[in-house]
Structure formats: structure tokens, C-alpha cells
Structure 1
Amino acid sequence: MSIARGNLRDDLPDFDDVSRRGSEEQFVELARGRHARVERIVSWGQSSPEDFWYDQEEDEYVLVVEGAAELELEGGERVRLSAGDWIEIPAHLRHRVAWTRPDGPTIWLAVFFT
């Protein structure tokens, strides 16, 4: 058995290049098990398209490690998250990223589980 380790701030995308800001978020799978997976997500000013909603098969626990973001839940509720804030989103609760901090990275830790 091997031990995996790392730092959530390692290998961040090069959003210092202004021309790259607004491009795609970075998703990195950190771990996977039979009933769960863990991802690091890095955003820098990105948001979901207006007509796009996540509708996932798994429950999702999301922690903002650094930065800030706002999620919109189906029905119009908005949830503002800053570093240290977390939310658990039940499976099939449609949601989208309404806003992420434009002046620096937002680093998310997402755990998907059944």
C-alpha cells in the first residue's frame, strides 16, 4: 500500500497571465474510492453559463480553502462562501457557480459520495 500526499496549493494554473483568466476552471482528482471521490477545483473569476445547472448523482461536500465564491441553488437561493466555509449539496439538487473571486484564485475541495 502506498501513501499519497500533496498540497492543495501546488501546481495551480497560471492565471497570472491575464489572457488566461476567464478560461476553464481546473479540476484535479485527488483520490477515489468505491463510494467517494475527492477533487481540487481552482477558479479565477469563472462562473457557470446562465443556462447551465449541475445535477449530480452523488452528494457533494464543498469546502472553500482559499478565495470566495457564490453558488446559486435551484429555486433562487444564493450561498456566499469564503475561505473555511463549506456546504453539503444533496444529490440532484440543481446548482451552479454564480460567481468566483476575480482578483485571485478560489481553491475548492469537493468530496462526492454516495
Structure 2
Amino acid sequence: MNEAKAVAFGNLYAGIAHDAADERFDTLVARGGVQVERIVSTGQASPPGFWYDDARDEWVVLLTGAATLEFEDAGEPPRRLLPGDYVRIPAHCRHRVAWTDPTVPSVWLAVYFG
């Protein structure tokens, strides 16, 4: 069977270590300039002074846990995210993860495009 047409199954909550020392990033799909990634945070935050600055647009939804995002642009206040909250971050909008819940994994689904 052609790999591009193969059916693929998985579970977004499988393989989560609740006490992982590092965030986990798993690419689920990457095709035609679009990438879908599962991110699992277990209390991690971006290092002080570090900003994500991606050349692609990003759409991200928090599925479990809780987190706070900060944006370098002073016009955007820090935003607390709870399950079901999503955000579209334009390309080169510098942002960081200020906090994630250390008591329960924060599972994100991120879609990069553009």
C-alpha cells in the first residue's frame, strides 16, 4: 500500500510520562507545508529570555492541563489557557510558555502552516 494513502491510528494521550524532566514534541503529520505536532508539558516553561519566533503561523489548542503564554508585544497581556482554549499565533510573533501545570500533563495540539 502506498505510504501516503495508508490509514494511521493513534491516541493523543498514549505514552505520556507524568513526571518527565523535558517537554515532549511528537510530529503526527507533516505534508505540503503543514505540520501537526503533539506537545506534552509537565511543569516546564520557556527559559528566561527565550522567545519562540517561528517563520510559520501556528494554531495551538490546549487539550489537558493549564498553561500561560506570554507575548513579546507589550500590547498582548499574558494569557492563561485551560482545556479547549486555542490561539492562532502569526508568523514571527514572539512568544513563550511562561508556566504549565506541574500537577497534570498539559497536552497541546499544534498546527504549523504558511
Q: TM-score, normalised by structure 1?
A: 0.90
Query: Relative to 1, partners in 2 of residues 1:97 and 1:83: Cα closer, same or farther, differing over 3 Å?
Result: same
Contact 1:72 1:97 in 2 (8 A): yes
Query: Partner residue of 1:99?
Result: 99
Q: Distance in 2 between matches of 1:70 and 1:6?
A: 27
Q: Distance in 2 between matches of 1:86 and 1:49?
A: 22
Amino acid in structure 2 at the alignment position of 1:72: E
Identity of aligned residues (%): 48
Contact 1:40 1:107 in 2 (8 A): yes
Query: Partner residue of 2:44?
Result: 46
Q: For each residue in 1:72-109, what CA deviation from the matched residue of structure 2 results, as whole angstroms up to 9, or x when unmatched?
A: 01124201110000000000000000000011100000
Query: Partner residue of 2:79?
Result: 79
Q: Distance in 2 between matches of 1:69 and 1:61?
A: 15
Q: TM-score, normalised by structure 2?
A: 0.90
Q: Distance in 2 between matches of 1:99 and 1:113?
A: 25
* 76-85 vs 52-61, greater mean Cα deviation: 76-85
1:16-35 equivalent positions in 2, closer than 5 A:
20=20, 23-35=21-33
Q: Give the length in aligned residue pairs.
A: 108
Unaligned stretches of 5+ residues in structure 2: none
Amino acid in structure 2 at the alignment position of 1:88: R
Name segments (4+ residues, structure 1) moved above 2 Å.
none
Amino acid in structure 2 at the alignment position of 1:60: E
Contact 2:64 2:107 in 1 (8 A): yes
- Structure 1 residue 34 displacement after superposition: 1.2
Q: Distance in 2 between matches of 1:89 and 1:10?
A: 27
Query: Relative to 1, partners in 2 of residues 1:99 and 1:14: Cα closer, same or farther, differing over 3 Å?
Result: closer
